[in-house]
């Protein structure tokens, strides 16, 4: 056991431990994923109080132990209470938190991912359901980019040709490959021996609107837009297209994480009965 150490971290998961403790999964900016015991935090007289709630950022003083390190002191740096304004913003935050938990590992600092998550949670506070969906999808795109697995939206991954999206929504379609990580022309896919897109494991077809939105979100200028400007420009895309693209990214994430995400189905109920194109 070493000396007490200090770190900034955000609570992403909590579960009961013993009679009065909690086990926290904390994403530390400079230490990666930490599993920490919050002692006596389930009692009404707990010194830690609301500091152990989800999505609270704390300045932590931690005592190393043989099995699980213990929190000695926590000073709150940031809270995102506006996430509780309605179910959609809270679900979007939980969705992002679940994905990030699969992306982070012990002793592997990811400060850019930490900052991106905190910035997105801050932007989600108090917005409408439609705005929460758009910010969620942009947040997912940022997580994929920082993880090095962002989809390719501009070039066919088979032929290398540029993907030119028609201005009007027509019967135009391209394929999307989870394994290859991007779009491909259906013609190009056929040239490598596949008779139908439906027969390709993990692939689906995308409309012009879905590809156009994916390309817009992939632009560095879109990723860096301030919240209000981003949401103003996001209005150009129908809600149904945002929902469809979220479903594509969900499947893509699950493919690469090799995990079934638990939170995203809750998002579906937030927007029912809005029509979403199925894979």
CATH number given to 5-78: 2.40.50.140
- pLDDT for the residue numbered 194: 43
Tokens representing 252 are: 């893509």
Confidence bin at 1 (pLDDT 50/70/90): low
| Position with higher pLDDT, 171 vs 35 | 35
Q: Where are the domains of the chain?
A: 5-78, 83-279
Q: Is the pLDDT of residue 273 over 70?
A: no
| Topology of domain 83-279, CATH | de novo design (two linked rop proteins) (1.20.1440)
Distance CA 264, CA 92 (A): 8
The answer to whether the beta carbons of residues 84 and 90 sit under 8 Å apart is: yes
Give tens-digit pLDDT for 14-27.
Answer: 999 988 899 999 99
Token look-up 């009961």 returns 16
Query: Confidence band (pLDDT; 50, 70, 90) for 45?
Result: confident
Within 57-128, where are the H helices?
87-103, 111-124
The whole-model pTM stands at: 0.90
Percent of the chain at pLDDT exceeding 70: 90
pLDDT, tens digit (0-9, with 9 covering 90-100), for 189-228: 444 444 444 434 447 899 999 999 999 999 999 999 999 9
Give CA–CA dist 205/51, Å, rounded. Answer: 45
pLDDT at position 200 is 41
Q: In angstroms, what CA-CA distances link 213 with 17, 91, 139, 185, 240?
A: 44, 22, 14, 17, 12
Q: How high is the mean pLDDT of the chain?
A: 90
Share of the chain above pLDDT 90, in %: 75
- Residue 128 pLDDT level (bands cut at 50, 70, 90): very high
How large is the average pLDDT for residues 80-109? 96
Characterize the bridge pairing of strands 204-207 and 32-38: unpaired
């Amino acid at each position: 056991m070493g000396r007490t150490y200090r770190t900034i971290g955000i609570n992403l998961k909590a579960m009961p431990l013993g009679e009065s403790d909690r086990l926290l999964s904390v994403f530390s900016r400079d230490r990666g994923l930490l599993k920490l015991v919050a002692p006596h935090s389930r009692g009404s007289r707990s010194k830690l109080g609301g500091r152990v709630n989800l999505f609270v950022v704390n300045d932590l003083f931690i005592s190393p132990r043989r099995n699980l390190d213990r929190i000695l002191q926590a000073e709150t740096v940031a809270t995102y209470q506006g996430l509780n304004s309605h179910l959609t913003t809270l679900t979007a935050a939980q969705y992002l938190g679940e994905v990030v938990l699969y992306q982070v590992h012990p002793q592997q600092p990811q400060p850019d991912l930490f900052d991106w998550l905190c910035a997105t949670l801050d932007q989600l506070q108090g917005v409408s359901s439609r705005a929460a969906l758009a910010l969620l999808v942009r947040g997912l795109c940022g997580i994929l980019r920082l993880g090095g697995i962002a989809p390719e939206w501009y070039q066919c991954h088979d032929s290398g040709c540029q993907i030119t999206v028609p201005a009007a929504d027509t019967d135009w379609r391209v394929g999307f490959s989870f394994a290859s990580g991007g779009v491909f022309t259906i013609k190009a896919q056929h040239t490598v021996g596949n008779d139908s897109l439906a027969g390709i494991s993990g692939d689906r077809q995308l409309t012009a609107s879905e590809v156009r939105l994916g390309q817009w979100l992939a632009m560095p200028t879109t990723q860096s837009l301030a919240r209000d400007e981003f949401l103003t420009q996001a209005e150009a895309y129908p809600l149904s297209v945002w929902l469809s693209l979220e479903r594509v990214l969900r499947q893509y994430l699950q493919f690469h994480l090799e995990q079934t995400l638990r939170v995203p189905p809750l998002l579906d109920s937030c927007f029912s009965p809005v029509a979403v194109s199925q894979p």
